[in-house]
A and B are shown apart, each in its own frame.
Chain A
Amino acid sequence: AQKITQTQPGMFVQEKEAVTLDCTYDTSDPSYGLFWYKQPSSGEMIFLIYQGSYDQQNATEGRYSLNFQKARKSANLVISASQLGDSAMYFCAMREGNTGNQFYFGTGTSLTVIP
């Protein structure tokens, strides 16, 4: 079974609108971390936001927020007030357990912001 599932290969959003990128995960480990990364066409992976499995509140970082629903094993990324520069690939990832050895990425969602 896939550890990280991103079901939206491509998404479009109007500039200044909000968009939600879906991510579900699969783990039986009680300790895990969830991440979102942005990858522009230049190739560099840019860390956006992190949510720990024991965190009570949803993580927020500026225009990014992570909608963490533990029982449903989902960790959707919400981008508010989309900007043209948000057009990129977005990857959901999970660190399982307490080591960096078990680190899994999804297949990504391509987001295009329309002016």
Chain B
Amino acid sequence: ETGVTQTPRHLVMGMTNKKSLKCEQHLGHNAMYWYKQSAKKPLELMFVYNFKEQTENNSVPSRFSPECPNSSHLFLHLHTLQPEDSALYLCASSQDYREETQYFGPGTRLLVL
């Protein structure tokens, strides 16, 4: 099993839909992250979880709702998204939130119509 997996890899949704992105890490790490990557913009850190506790929410709109049931799983629940939310959503993990290196999953490419 590869280090960090994400499902689905591609998602198309309407603005009224509710969907969830899933991330799972098999590295025994304690910290997990959600990033948003839009075209021609730097990656934006959205949420940080350390030992299942949210430690950071970088002014992310409430239409994005994270959930971390355990150190290995991280979800991003999506509802009433906007077309500008279309992007690549990357999950990452690290040993803990002070650890230098984060390991990324392959991302979910989201298109909001």
Contact = CB atoms under 8 A, between A and B. Distances in A.
A13 B83 CA distance: 37
Contacts of B109: 43
A43 B107 contact: yes
Interface of B: 31, 33, 40-43, 45, 48, 50, 55-56, 88, 90, 92, 94, 96-107, 109
Nearest to A5: B42
Given A44-B106, A93-B43, A100-B98, 8 more contacts: A4-B42, A43-B88, A47-B101, A99-B55, A103-B45, A106-B42, A107-B41, A108-B42
B104 A37 contact: yes
Contact of A98 (B56, B92, B98, B105): B98
A42 B106 contact: yes
User: Number of contact residues on A: which range applies?
Assistant: 20 to 34
B107 A100 contact: no
11 contacts: A43-B107, A45-B104, A47-B103, A50-B100, A93-B43, A100-B33, A100-B97, A100-B102, A103-B33, A103-B45, A103-B102
Contacts of A46: 104
B44 to A, nearest CB: 8
B35 to A, nearest CB: 8
Interface of A: 4, 33, 35, 37, 42-47, 50, 52, 91, 93, 95, 98-101, 103-108
A99 B94 CA distance: 11
B107 A91 contact: no
Kindly list the 10 A-B residue pairs having the minimum CB-CB distance in the complex, ordered from nearest: A45-B104, A105-B43, A100-B97, A44-B106, A43-B107, A101-B56, A105-B42, A33-B100, A43-B106, A107-B42
Contacts of A98: 98
Nearest to B106: A44
A99 B109 CA distance: 28
A101 B96 CA distance: 11
Nearest to A37: B104
Contacts of B56: 101
Contacts of A44: 104-107
A52 B100 CA distance: 9
A91 B42 CA distance: 9
